[in-house]
Structure 1
């Protein structure tokens, strides 16, 4: 079964790293450059899971998670935060907003794949 993933990150390099880590594992990867673009991409997509950064322009990861959780269509879609941030209060804020998990960059691609399989099937 192919899992469909949306990766939201303002870094083109990080979007490429995520894509290159997931494509060989059979994931179908869509990308967005920030939270606003992520919401636009979600309008025509029903991903199995979402990966988002926290620090992004226009709409940060917290705002993006809030927006996603505010829709009926994506209210239960698993959301993994992939960020350089490691502060416990930020993790808790993301959890309260509706994040499913938290992975700190730099990350082990195998750990990301395993986490996605755990939350998305």
Structure 2
């Protein structure tokens, strides 16, 4: 069975880099460029095995999306990696309090991202 990863990231270069990196592992990658599209896809399409969620997204930020995912019985157990350029401790603490499973700061290590997806997907 193919591991499915969903990425919500508004910076095309980072999205392309992550998609290539994860695709190279043989994983199926889907994505959204803004918060509204991300939430719509996560609520209406087949659930991925892992979500990589940028905090600073247009229309709806990653914290709002994570809150909604955790509030829904359909998505409340979905593994979520929070990805952000905002590496301050308060952002990490907020992400943990809302229910993030992992926190990765930009610029990120490719190995760290792959390792986190492997861990959260149970690979």
Common fold by TM > 0.5: yes
State the partner residue of 1:33: 33
The match for 1:101 is 102
C-alpha deviations, 1:28-61, integer Å up to 9, x for none? 1000112211111111121101001111111001
Separation in structure 2 between the aligned mates of residue 78 and residue 34 of structure 1, nearest angstrom: 19
**Ranges in structure 1 where 5+ consecutive residues have no aligned partner:** none
Shift, 1:100, TM fit:
0.6
Distance 1:6 1:67 in 2: 16
Aligned-partner SS, 2:97: helix
Moved over 3 A (4+): none
* Counterpart for residue 66 of structure 2: 65
- Aligned alpha-carbon RMSD (Å): 1.0
**Count of aligned residue pairs for this structure pair:** 121
Which structure 2 segments of 5+ residues have no match?
A: none
